[in-house]
Amino acid sequence: MYQLEEETDADQWEVEALYDLCFAPGRTALSSYRLRDGVPKVAELCLVLREDGVLAAVIRFWPVRVGGQPVLLLGPVAVHPTRQGEGLGGYLIHESLAEARRLGWRRVLLVGDAPYYGRFGFRKLEGVVMPPPTNPDRVLGFELVTGAWSGVTGEVTRWIDGADPAC
């Protein structure tokens, strides 16, 4: 039986170990990590999925801005290699997007594979520029509110410390 819970400080090292297992060395040098550096996670959306106490999958979200507008940056999402193919990543994506909508967020951004994330409704964003080196074809967005990405363009920037993450 799976248990879905909000990530806690006690989960930190186990979650980081799963990311290390699932992603290539040097993952923290990616542009998306520079946007997260020193910025608190959106705690209500950072979830861990366990089976019988064993970590199976995780998802995190961070606040960023695009053209001055608040945006959720999804990622990373990781599923333990022994659990891949069971739909756990999709489950985390669906559950967290529903919660983000409930919390009043309007739009979500990620850097990822369009064929995978497209099945959840993510689409390539035009005019949204991630810090280099990021392939623009991998910059994807999702609307939690219809039309939320309309007219929102520009550089993706870090969340300013102390700024209210008003949705």
Q: How confident is the model at residue 31 (pLDDT cuts 50, 70, 90)?
A: confident
pLDDT of 27 reads: 74
Burial (Cβ within 10 Å: 0-12, 13-18, ≥19) of residue 62: buried
Query: How far apart are alpha carbons 8 and 5 in whole angstroms?
Result: 9
- Statement: residue 148 has pLDDT above 90: yes
Confidence class of residue 163 from pLDDT cuts 50, 70 and 90? Answer: low
Mean pLDDT across 72-98:
96
Q: What are phi and psi of 114, to 5 degrees?
A: -60, -40
| CA–CA gap between residue 159 and residue 39 (Å, rounded) | 7
pTM score of the predicted model: 0.92
Does 32 score more than 90 pLDDT? no
Measure the CA–CA gap between 78 and 156, rounded to whole angstroms.
23
Comparing 35 with 122, the larger pLDDT belongs to 122
User: If you average pLDDT over every residue of the chain, what do you get?
Assistant: 92
What is the mean pLDDT of the segment spanning 104-131? 96
Q: How far apart are CA 111 and CA 100, in angstroms?
A: 18
Residues making up the chain, counted from first to last: 167
pLDDT of residue 80: 97
- Average pLDDT in the 44-59 region? 97
First-last CA distance in the chain: 34
Confidence class for position 48, pLDDT limits 50, 70, 90: very high
Q: What is the pLDDT of residue 44?
A: 96
Alpha-carbon distance of 31 to 34, in angstroms, equals 5
Return the C-alpha torsion angle 151, 152, 155, 161, nearest 10: 150
Asked whether the predicted pLDDT for residue 134 surpasses 60, the reply is yes
Cα 166 from Cα 69, distance rounded (Å): 9
What are the structural domains, with CATH classification, of the chain? 2-158 (3.40.630.30)
Instruction: Return all residues near 137 (Cβ < 8 A) that are at least 6 apart.
Output: 114, 124
Q: What is the pLDDT of residues 98-107, one digit of tens each?
A: 999 999 999 9
